[in-house]
Amino acid sequence: MLARVRNKVLFTSKRISAYLVTYPNQHKVMAHIDPVPDGKYYKFNIVLKQPKVGGVFRCQKCILNLFGRIYFFRPDKYEHSVSRIEQGERRILSISLTL
């Protein structure tokens, strides 16, 4: 059985939230879009720990991609995914904003 994603809530409100998310070895995130009922949805993800192999973030269109570690994108508008983590774990600080 695979380990589960650990999702620690750091802050949450109606418009903004922050999470510390840890993806374990062998985990992957299938391509998807995150719908929101109203407004525009933005995400700012900072990769705190890269896996040794795999765990590559992919997005149809990023507003900002710095060094493959800092991403700013619209998850409600563009498909995004993470390839299978083959060795190690992936940890991100994820801040989301709904306007």
**Confidence (pTM):** 0.90
Please write the tens of the pLDDT for every residue from 40-95: 999 999 999 999 999 999 999 999 999 999 999 999 999 999 999 999 999 999 99
Sign of torsion over alpha carbons 15, 34, 75, 88: positive
> In 3D, which of 21, 32, 12 has the Cα closest to residue 76?
32
90 beta partners: 23
